[in-house]
Amino acid sequence: MADDVWILGIHMTKFGKHPTLDTIDLAAEATRGALSDGGVTMKDMGLIASGNLLAGGHVGQTLQKAIGQTGIPVINVANACATGATALKVCVMALRSGEADMALAVGVEKLAGAGLLSGGSRADDGGSWTPEGRYGAVTAVDGRIGTATMPGVFAQIGMEYGHRYGGTSFELFAQISEKNHAHSTLNPLAAYSKRFTLDEIMNDVMIAYPNTRPMCSANCDGAAAAVLVTGAKLKTLSLEQQRRAVKVAASVLTTDPWEEGCQVLPNVNTLTKAAASQAYEAAGIGPDDLDLVELHDCFATAELVHYDNLGLCEEGGAPDLFRSGATWRDGRIPVNVSGGLESKGHPISATGIANVWEIATHLRGEAGPRQIDGARVGLAHVIGLGSACGVHVLERSAA
């Protein structure tokens, strides 16, 4: 039986615009914060898993050169929007296998001012029509054969749910965004913490119907880091460290299994359902045991389908669950009390650790004015298109 894994220290930077801080500054701030929070140093780490997509691929080693070169293995990971969760999973695997007794996961991204993120397109070079690539395309197809832009892909994912089960509308998706922006007003680390009325959300700039601008995740800068420790090692640390440690009851990473249509419109449902089911089994809990959930609301249309995928409602029951008020912070199962990606922001590789920070902070009872009282168990979920799903179930220390 593999040893338990715990979060010993965890930290996220403020998300937003950091024009004077570069990628390494942000990663260093998050890492120093996590080490300090855990009462340890770089010398205690046996492994670093470093997540980043846009800064060239060697952030882990550059981070070491900024704050501590100890010769330990560094694994640079990239897994789209699930990169942060993947860094955590790598640490969990290393600790469970006995390769290390303490490990650092860090995720960082500089994304402020980035434009629309798409699935890739090719520029027309004029001259003559020449077939290229896997589809023999003579021109860029994005926008001519559907859309690979993220707001449009996730819009269709929400619409497909509506077509299958009914009960969705532009207004319903906008109300989900209204909830998350309302939640963000209590989060000082959120990139945006302004409350919007439903009218303001529905009448804002349309990006990809039914997602208007405030219904899209916010591109911003940020980093998050966590120090993970084995249960055996934790027992040798101070009682205060043990009291604040948060148990990683499940750490699951999945990809999308083949299903009809999955290579036409990405299927974010199959792999999330699988990850949730594996996570509940590993943690020995069910969705009804959760006190709060941070899920991947990269767009308002995505949040809805994940209520269902994570088992927070019966199949097809996501619109009813939302309309019942259950997912507001005073509801039965609060979702995205941080403000979610729509307002807290989405510095891609940081996201999968920042949402674990949010859950851990509530479980420790340290979330201040936005504390969910008595939180004992929480779940953090991310999806990276392509696809990868990370689910972490966290439990408050019994100590």
Partner 1 sequence: MSSQIPMVDYLRLGDDPRLVAHECEQCHARYFDHRIACAACEGESFRDVEVDPTGEVKAFTIVSLAAPGIPVPFVAALIDCDGTSVQANLVDVEADPEHVTLGMKVALTTYSLGTDDQGVEAIGFGFAPVP
- Name the site residues for partner 1 (rule: CB under 8 A): 116, 118, 121, 124, 126-129, 131, 134-147, 149, 151-152, 155-157, 159-160, 162-164, 170, 205-211, 258, 260-261, 263-265
Task: Calculate the alpha carbon distances from 358 to 226, 238, 309, 348, 351 in Å.
Answer: 12, 24, 21, 16, 10
Which is it for strands 292-294 and 102-109: parallel, antiparallel or unpaired? Answer: unpaired
Burial readout 239-252 (b: 16 or more C-beta within 10 A, e: otherwise): eebbebbbbbbbbb
Measured from the CB atom, is 71 or 127 closer to partner 1? 127
**Of 209, 93, 192, nearest to 151 (Cα)?**
209
CA angle in degrees (0–180, nearest 5) for 62-251-313: 130
Q: In what order do the strands lie in the sheet with 74-77?
A: 74-77, 48-51, 102-109, 222-230, 5-12, 246-255, 388-396, 377-384, 292-294
Measured from the CB atom, is 40 or 208 closer to partner 1? 208
Minimum Å gap between C-beta 113 and partner 1 is 15
| Backbone torsions φ then ψ of 319, nearest 5 degrees | -60, -40
Minimum Å gap between C-beta 200 and partner 1 is 17
Measured from the CB atom, is 132 or 366 closer to partner 1? 132
Measured from the CB atom, is 90 or 157 closer to partner 1? 157
Measured from the CB atom, is 46 or 151 closer to partner 1? 151
Minimum Å gap between C-beta 262 and partner 1 is 8
**Of 39, 36, 34, nearest to 49 (Cα)?**
34
Task: Give the span between the Cα atoms of 295 and 340, in whole angstroms.
Answer: 8
Q: Which helix (H) or strand (E) holds 106?
A: strand 102-109
Minimum Å gap between C-beta 120 and partner 1 is 10
Measured from the CB atom, is 208 or 350 closer to partner 1? 208
Minimum Å gap between C-beta 253 and partner 1 is 19
Minimum Å gap between C-beta 168 and partner 1 is 9
Measured from the CB atom, is 55 or 114 closer to partner 1? 114
Q: Give me the amino acid identity at 346.
A: H
Minimum Å gap between C-beta 332 and partner 1 is 29
Minimum Å gap between C-beta 210 and partner 1 is 8
Decide: 292 and 332 in contact? Cβ < 8 Å.
no
Measured from the CB atom, is 121 or 193 closer to partner 1? 121
- For residue 193, how many other CB atoms are within 10 A of its CB? 17
| Cα distance from N-terminal residue to C-terminal residue, the chain | 22
Minimum Å gap between C-beta 117 and partner 1 is 11
Measured from the CB atom, is 157 or 337 closer to partner 1? 157
**Of 39, 67, 65, 63, nearest to 50 (Cα)?**
63
Q: Which two tokens stand for residue 38?
A: 């855990």
